[in-house]
Chains A and B, each alone.
Chain A
C-alpha cells in the first residue's frame, strides 16, 4: 500500500518479460489482426524491432494495475496517456508514478492526482501521462 502524501512514489510494478503469447490472446480479444503483434518479421519489416510489438492498451494496462494497487478499494476515475515508444516481446517493463495532488471529496474518498509512466528497461519511456484515482478514507 502506498503512503498517501503528495510526492509519494507509486509502485513500481514490474513485468519481468512481456509475453508474446499474451499478445496473441489480446489480439483475439481486441479483434486486432495487426501482424506486428503476432510476428517479429512483420515488426522488423516496419523497422519496429525484431520481436512482436505489444498492444498499446496493454502497455497502459500495466499502469492501471499500478494504480489499483495504491490502496484497497482504489478506483481509477481517469487516465490520460501518450504512447511514446514500442514495447517488444521479452522486454522488462516498469510502471511507476508519483502522487501530485490529494483532495478530500464529499463522498468519503480521497482524490489523488498522479503522474504515471511505463519505462522499458535499458531503452525508452513507452507511456507517459496522468491519472485520477479515488481511494476510500476508511480502508475497505
Chain B
C-alpha cells in the first residue's frame, strides 16, 4: 500500500451533510515539510516533530479528494473564488514528518448564507481526523469553506 493515497476523481462526491470523503493515507516527508516551513519563513519545532501547520496539509492531503474536485463537486468553479473561512485544529500529539497517517472524515453541514460583500454563498464545513498507524488520534481539523453562489448581496 502506498504511504500517500492518490486523490480519487471527485465527480462522484456528494456534497451534503453526513457524506463521507474517500479518505486515505498521507506521509508528509522531509521535502514537503521543508517547503512548508520555508513558505512560512519561520522555523520547525526543535524536537524534530512536524510544524503544526502540517496537520492541515496531512488532513487535506489524505482526505482522498483535491480542493479543485471538492469545489467542482459543489458546483463552484475555482474562478469564482471559493475560499477558506475558518479552521479549527486540534493536535493530540506532535506530528511525525515521515509517519504515514490515516485520514478519514466527511461533510458536517452545508449552510446557505447571504452577505453584503459576497452575495449568496454556502458555508461548507468538513471534519477530518488524522490517526497514527496504530489508530491513535493524532490531530483533527474542521474546515469551513466559503462557496460563492452568485447573486446580489444584502
Contacts and interface: CB of A to CB of B under 8 A. Distances in A.
A57 B88 CA distance: 11
Interface of A: 13, 15, 19, 22-23, 25-26, 29-36, 42, 45-46, 48, 55-58, 60-62, 64-65, 67-69, 72-73, 75-83, 140
B67 A31 contact: yes
B137 interface: no
Given A31-B67, A68-B45, 10 more contacts: A32-B68, A33-B68, A57-B84, A58-B53, A64-B40, A64-B53, A73-B46, A77-B91, A79-B87, A81-B86
Contact of B41 (A15, A36, A69, A77): A15
Interface of B: 7, 32, 35-36, 38-43, 45-47, 51-53, 56-57, 60-61, 66-68, 78-92, 94
B67 A32 contact: yes
Nearest to B60: A30
A35 B85 contact: no
A123 to B, nearest CB: 15
A125 B126 CA distance: 25
A24 to B, nearest CB: 9
B86 A76 contact: no
Nearest to A67: B52
A35 B53 contact: no
B67 A79 contact: no
